[in-house]
Amino acid sequence: MAEAAPQVPKTMSAMLLTGHGDVDKLQYRQDVITPRPRPGEVLVQVTATAKNNTDRKAREGLYPTKGKEEVTSFAMGGSPTLTFPRIQGADIAGRVAAVGEGVDASRIGERGLLDFNIYADERRDINLTPDYYGHGADGGYADFVVVPADQFHHVSNPELHDAELAAMGMCSYQTAYHMMTSASVSAGERVLVTGASGGVGTALIQLCRIVGAIPYAVSQLDKADALMGLGAEAVIDRGDLSTFVERVLATTDGKPIDAVMDLVGGQMTDLFIDTMIVDMQGRNSYPRLSIAGASGGNISEIMWTRIYLYQVQIFGVSHGTREEAEQLIEWICSGALKPVLHAAFKLSDLHNAERYFVNRGSNYLGKIVIVPDAQWETHGAPFALTTD
């Protein structure tokens, strides 16, 4: 039997996704049965959950794999695992409220961060059929969530607020790190980071510096100070596409980019490749493109002769591995990685948070987090969105 703390209620508040569609498919309920941990699991009282673009894409059914007009759920393991109703939210911070059989009761009260993956097996070095909490199982847009005990990692860094901890969640940071490890990014290499002001982009900038690589950020110039404060060597505005490659090379003193971390796709992909193949002499490694997003469009036109003649290596990235998650937790605990938290919203206000996320303006940088209403005063109010 599970050992439960006395404060665990029979019902809880949660935001239920009831089907594919707009935000009206998200229904706030206050009578959802509180889950109970099974053997090897912990019940986590959620204090903050970061918002990710995958929440919106899963809700709208925007993971086509055959035709560009296809509406589908993420289903890399075979059949779709997104069933309704579903509680979304992958990047969960909170405290252990109860433990299942086989889990040490001393963990009750422990603060931690979830490795959001639903792993198909125990392998630590590979993850071929990625699924995640908030999609294939209920996530953190609720007062409580049940997760595997060994994937809820204790974070001992007392300087991090819970909302900041959620902003460093694995959906962004592990994806960013897997983009780099897939492409074998190493010290001294020049790395172009696209979509640099978002959660994965800001993570990439910091992670490049940790491994000794030199990140060049593609973003709006009014975010240059903030991005350079995170470690960007320079910030290049997308601007006029006809001069984009020239402007990138101007920031590198004419030296080619070694690897591109692409979150944009669309018509930009070919230009990103151009920044790597302008001069192949004197290179120490192949040009590499890691792609983990398509915010600029799901279809790119590329001449394959350019790919094979210039030996461009392309890596599709989705999620990451247990090993990478554990390394990230070490860096979070040590303070090597810093949170980039934009704002917090109440769980009951998720509709507005979703709209804000889609229509975010030029001042947006990093992550927004969703805080259960019962936790708002402690963990959300200090980071509430301001209009100043």
Q: Taking 80 as the threshold, does the pLDDT of residue 168 lie above it?
A: yes
CA–CA separation, 218 and 337 (whole Å): 20
Q: Which residues pair with 368 in a beta bridge?
A: 343
Tokens of 49: 């959950």
Confidence of residue 38 (pLDDT cuts 50, 70, 90): very high
CA–CA separation, 269 and 249 (whole Å): 16
pLDDT value of position 264: 86
Burial (CB count <10 Å: 0-12, 13-18, 19+), residue 266:
middle
pLDDT value of position 107: 97
pLDDT value of position 295: 80
CA–CA separation, 294 and 292 (whole Å): 7
Share of the chain above pLDDT 90, in %: 78
Mean pLDDT over 205-227 rounds to 97
Q: Taking 70 as the threshold, does the pLDDT of residue 73 lie above it?
A: no
Q: Give the angle 174-179-180 at the CA atoms, nearest 5°.
A: 100
For 273-326, how does the pLDDT look when each residue is reduced to its tens digit (9 = 90+)? Answer: 999 998 888 788 999 999 998 887 878 889 999 999 999 999 999 889 999 999
Write phi, then psi, for 217 (nearest 5 degrees). Answer: -100, 135
Q: Which helix (H) or strand (E) holds 226?
A: helix 224-230
Q: Taking 50 as the threshold, does the pLDDT of residue 201 lie above it?
A: yes
- Residue whose C-alpha is closest to residue 45's, from 165, 144, 149: 144
* Cα 11 versus chain centre, distance: 29
Tokens of 94: 């909170």
CB 87 within 8 A of CB 15: yes
Q: Taking 90 as the threshold, does the pLDDT of residue 29 lie above it?
A: yes
pLDDT value of position 3: 45
Confidence of residue 1 (pLDDT cuts 50, 70, 90): very low
- Residue whose C-alpha is closest to residue 92's, from 49, 133, 121: 49
Tokens of 129: 């059929």
Write phi, then psi, for 33 (nearest 5 degrees). Answer: -65, 130
The one-letter amino acid at 136: G
Confidence of residue 385 (pLDDT cuts 50, 70, 90): confident
Q: Where are the alpha helices (DSSP H) in 231-384?
A: 244-251, 268-277, 304-309, 322-334, 350-358
Q: Are strands 11-17 and 3-4 parallel, antiparallel or unpaired?
A: unpaired
Q: Taking 70 as the threshold, does the pLDDT of residue 74 lie above it?
A: no
pLDDT value of position 279: 82
Tokens of 54: 């995958």
CB 185 within 8 A of CB 191: yes
pLDDT value of position 355: 95
| Residues ≥6 apart with Cβ < 8 Å to 269 | 262, 289, 291, 300, 302
| Residues ≥6 apart with Cβ < 8 Å to 61 | 20, 71, 72, 73
For 247-265, how does the pLDDT look when each residue is reduced to its tens digit (9 = 90+)? Answer: 999 999 999 999 999 998 8
Q: Taking 70 as the threshold, does the pLDDT of residue 67 lie above it?
A: no
pLDDT value of position 307: 95
pLDDT value of position 294: 80
pLDDT value of position 5: 53
For 323-374, how does the pLDDT look when each residue is reduced to its tens digit (9 = 90+)? Answer: 999 999 999 999 999 999 999 999 999 999 999 998 887 789 999 999 999 9
Tokens of 296: 């600029």
Mean pLDDT over 127-149 rounds to 94
Q: What is the DSSP string of 53-110?
A: HHHHHHHHTB--SS-TT--B---TTSS----SSB----EEEEEEEEE-TTS-GGGTT-
Report the chain's mean pLDDT, rounded to a whole number.
Answer: 92
pLDDT value of position 2: 46
Is the preceding peptide bond at 39 cis, omega within 30 degrees of 0? no
